[in-house]
Amino acid sequence: MSGSITIAGLGPGAEALVTPEVTAAVAAATDVIGYIPYVARVAPRPGLTLHPSDNRVELDRSRHALELATQGRRVVVVSSGDPGVFAMASAVFEAVEAGPTAWRDLDIRVLPGITAMLAAAARAGAPLGHDFCTINLSDNLKPWSLIERRLKLAAQADFAMAFYNPRSKARPEGFARTLEVLREACGDARPVIFARAVSTPEEQIRVVPLPQCTPEMADMRTMVIVGNSATRIIERAGAPIVYTPRSVPA
């Protein structure tokens, strides 16, 4: 048996958002590797070894997965959302590039998933219906000055913005500063969507005008989406609909 490594996206939480391609890959795996809560989503069965590991050990986990594949195992690395968006795919390829040449010849596949920003956008309406950008607000792997520079340029470009990892206990200041930068750069009451734990039983969606946003509205389970200057709110009896029109008049 020749080994393989598949980096698969489990989507934001609900089983109804897992693609059949990913379900089939997990069903055919001999080994499933990933962060503890994602591996917990895979049902144990005979012939399958589960390898849950802690957060922040992405490179170790990647090397472990690659070693198992060279031993002939069918390894699935599980990510939440889409593995290519601030998740495991880049970590695995960093390990491949730095590792033994034999790792390059492995059967490696990435299976896309529903990433959090698209699940969150769908719940709120269509805030990403025009040009947008996607920024990881964690400064664990890049300098904060670069994040701030990107926020300012994104505001100048009038992109809608989707923010991953807006705030954690270890990084409480960054999102507060993000809100300041946006208020200065955008200077208007554009809508901000706080989408927490989308597609899970704890899901909570709030739409707040930028001037009224506070840092505490976000945590690590929250996706934050900021409209562009044309984003509209449709008020109605239920939750409002937030959408960005397709057109920009000349």
**Region from 13-21, 42-50, 187-195, 208-216 binding a copy of itself, contact rule CB under 8 A:** 13-21
Residues 71-90 binding a copy of itself (CB under 8 A) are 82-87, 89-90
* 133 binds a copy of itself, rule: CB under 8 A: yes
Q: CB-hemisphere CA count at 13 Å for 178?
A: 33
Distance CA 170, CA 222 (A): 15
Among 77, 82, 32, 40, which residue's Cα sits nearest to residue 58? Answer: 77
The verdict on 203 binding a copy of itself (CB under 8 A) reads: no
The only residue of 1, 43, 141, 170 in contact with a copy of itself, by rule CB under 8 A: 141
In the complex, minimum distance from the CB of residue 179 to a copy of itself, in angstroms, rounded to a whole number: 18
Closest C-alpha to 116, from 96, 86, 90? 86
Read off the tokens for 48.
Answer: 């399958």
With binding defined as CB under 8 A, does residue 114 bind a copy of itself? yes
Cα gap 207→234, rounded to integer Å: 11
Contact 223, 164 (CB under 8 A): yes
| Tokens matching residue 191 | 């809508």
For a copy of itself, which residue of 44, 54, 97, 170 counts as binding (CB under 8 A)? 97
19 or 50: whose CB is closer to a copy of itself?
Answer: 19
Residue 192 touching a copy of itself (CB under 8 A): no
Does 175 help bind a copy of itself (rule: CB under 8 A)?
no
Phi and psi, residue 13, nearest 5°: 165, -50
| Segment contacting a copy of itself by CB under 8 A, of 39-47, 67-75, 123-131, 168-176 | 123-131
Is 35 an interacting residue with respect to a copy of itself (CB under 8 A)?
no
> Quick one: 52 or 240, whose CB is closer to a copy of itself?
240
Residue 79, phi then psi, degrees to nearest 5: -120, 155
Q: Site for a copy of itself (CB under 8 A): which residue of 50, 176, 220, 241? A: 241
Choose which of 93, 168, 176, 197 interacts with a copy of itself (CB under 8 A): 93
Contact between 15 and a copy of itself by CB under 8 A: the answer reads yes
Half-sphere exposure of 180 (CA within 13 A, CB side): 6
Residue 118 contacts a copy of itself per CB under 8 A: yes
> Minimum CB separation from a copy of itself for residue 81, in Å?
10
DSSP 8-state secondary structure symbol assigned to residue 238: S
Q: Looking at residue 17, what DSSP letter applies?
A: G
The two three-digit tokens of residue 147, written as one number: 């994040």
